[in-house]
A and B are shown apart, each in its own frame.
Chain A
Amino acid sequence: MRMSNKTADRIATAVFYFFAFLIIAVLASLIGFILYRGLGQISWHFLTSPPETFKTGGGIGPQLFNSLFLLVLTMIITVPLGIGAGIYMAEYSRPGRFTDFIRLVVEVLSSFPSIVVGLFGLLVFVQYFDLKFSLLAGALALTVFNLPLMVRITEQGIRGVPREQKEAGLALGLTRWHTITKVLLPVSLPTILTGTILAAGRVFGEAAALLFTAGMSSPRLDFTDWNPLSPVSPLNPLRPAETLAVHIWKINSEGVAPDAAQIAAGASAVLILTVLLFNLGSRWLGRFLYRKLTASR
């Protein structure tokens, strides 16, 4: 028997609704599950104390610090490089072979698996430059991982600036570079900033590129020693540093502490909350800056 067109339409609509809400339900239960399992673990002690190998009651203090510090280091290297290359792509490049080539480079670089980026970091930064397993090697590997994204964000941001604003700058007799730094960059700042924060969230959760660059161990840190040259100082960029994401992976695959599962749950919740914070923060900041800079309501 042939189904009438109307029935088919109704069934199809129902199917579309079903799958759309299925996706929402999956995400909701995903986040719900992590928070349900993890939130109970989070306490001041958990967030600040070092992990235990064989006993219960370990925390994630050093890992959390490492993640944040590594994020800052990465951003210090990535942002100027990415903005520079993005400016080139948006303003200086002319259509042609070379520009097509750079576009291809950015595309390939952004689709390299992060584990391959990590291996490259192991070979070049850890072994060849002799940085050992260190925060600096990790930050450089994450730069490779993050740079193509930064370039795209900047290029899109600058291309989004209305033509007239740029031309007004040039017509006032500013050089091209002055127009870029004094007109284009400030106007595109909201876009670039929101993109950067989202990229930061990605960096914060990255683990595969760090296994063999920042290392899987963290030395005993002395949080009263702020001399960056001392080996126990948290600020020393040449010490090995296990980040939060790497820690989650490690205790899931080889954790021997009796409360490994709870610690993994707690650490995952912290990670998710941070990423959520980045996500919401970038939205809010983008809207706030847009309103402030463009005089729209």
Chain B
Amino acid sequence: MNAMRQPSPGGPGDAKPAAAPAQGKPDSAGAKKGGPSAGNPARPKRSRRSRTASEWQGKAYTLICVAILIVTIFSMVFFVASKGLATFFTNGVSVSEFLTGIKWSPDGEPPSFGALPFITGSFATSILAACIAAPLSFCAAVFMTELMPKFGKRFMQPVIELLAGIPSVVYGFVGLSVVVPFLRSIFPGQGLGIAAGAIVLSIMILPTITSIATDSLSNLPRGLKEGSYALGATRWQTISRSILPAVLPSMLTGVVLGIARAFGEALAVQMVIGNSPHIPRSLFESASTLTSVITLSMGNTVKDTVQNNVLWSLALVLLVMTFVFVGIVRLLERRARR
């Protein structure tokens, strides 16, 4: 026990008091934390009352932290929604025009705010990215759990984790200097477009799907696999007929999480997609997504104008889609558990 207490002053101990001034609230917790270590000899004498007080303060501190989480999410929804809905209620843009219009010219005369090109752009890039990444992820997961577990754990796992850690601007930079010129040399056009965005995104969401697929593969009951082998099935038959159907629900969860991540990704996509506000006729033509147009235009519009508010409406679409994705994931998880 004593050995275990050694690191306490260095670790969480120094994080806590630092919090007190930054946050203002839990100085009671901070003071309390300093108490026992400072007054060590006096500790046995501490009355029952001060002990229950410290217990109470500790619990209050953790509750405050939780309250901050809840306040954050509510204020986020409230603020973004109030700005985003102002487009429709204050500026009188019709919702159906916003969601189905294909002409985006906020500075035009008269201005039109059709966001459909961005909505389709976002869906197209993220779903296409998932279509590329899902089979690759399944292969990687099977490789790591079935074919070469040792190599997979020691080498492949860290590699995938590393992929997850690379910042999105770096992906964008590589996309811009490798993927785009490559596409330009093969296909007609500038190389910028949905295809380039989807390729970059597919590498970015690969770790998400792979880690979920790997988890579900290694959690499969042993009997399932061994039963199949015992019947004389080859490895491929086992994988395709008994393993794949068993992990399909959780694979799907991973795919939805991947799509959600791709849908919200801003800078990497913005750098390679070309940013023209039209629905492209091919995958190799310049397009836009919800995130890319917000990124580019937010700094150039004046607060409280319709041009600015409509960008908040786009953000609101992103926000609503986040809830939809979380809902789908929860639904899939519930079904997988059954």
Contacts and interface: CB of A to CB of B under 8 A. Distances in A.
Contacts of B167: 204-207, 245, 271-272, 275
Q: Chain B CB within 10 Å — which of A80, A102, A122 has the most? A: A80
Contact of B166 (A84, A176, A246, A272): A272
B172 A249 contact: yes
Interface in A27-71: 27, 30-31, 33-34, 37
Interface in B252-276: 257, 260-261, 263-267, 270-271
A147 B73 CA distance: 11
B165 A275 contact: yes
A220 interface: no
B55 A124 contact: no
Interface in A75-117: 76-77, 79-85, 87-89, 91-92, 102, 104-109, 111-117
A79 B163 contact: no
B246 interface: no
B267 A208 contact: yes
A256 interface: no
Contacts of A12: 235-236, 239-240
Contacts of A275: 165-167
B59 interface: yes
A109 B168 CA distance: 19
A149 interface: no
Contacts, number: 299
B51 interface: yes
Contacts of B31: none
Contacts of A26: 203
A1 interface: no
Contacts of B11: 185-186, 189, 192-193
A80 B21 CA distance: 11
A229 interface: no
Contact of B322 (A8, A16, A108, A148): A108
B186 interface: no
25 contacts: A8-B237, A13-B236, A16-B139, A19-B139, A23-B206, A24-B156, A81-B65, A83-B16, A84-B61, A84-B62, A102-B66, A102-B70, A108-B326, A112-B264, A113-B291, A115-B294, A116-B322, A127-B303, A177-B55, A186-B5, A189-B12, A205-B167, A248-B169, A264-B173, A276-B162
Interface of A: 5-6, 8-9, 11-13, 15-17, 19-20, 22-24, 26-27, 30-31, 33-34, 37, 76-77, 79-85, 87-89, 91-92, 102, 104-109, 111-117, 119-120, 122-124, 127, 144, 147-148, 151, 168, 175-178, 180-183, 185-187, 189, 192-193, 198, 201-202, 204-208, 211-212, 216, 245-246, 248-249, 252-253, 261, 264-265, 268, 271-272, 275-276, 278-279, 283, 289, 293, 295
Interface of B: 1, 3-8, 11-12, 15-16, 18-19, 22-23, 26, 33, 36, 51-52, 54-55, 57-59, 61-66, 68-70, 72-73, 75-76, 79-80, 83, 135-136, 139-140, 142-144, 147-148, 155-156, 158-163, 165-170, 172-174, 176-178, 203, 206, 234-237, 239-240, 257, 260-261, 263-267, 270-271, 291, 294-295, 298-299, 303, 312, 315, 318-319, 322-323, 325-326
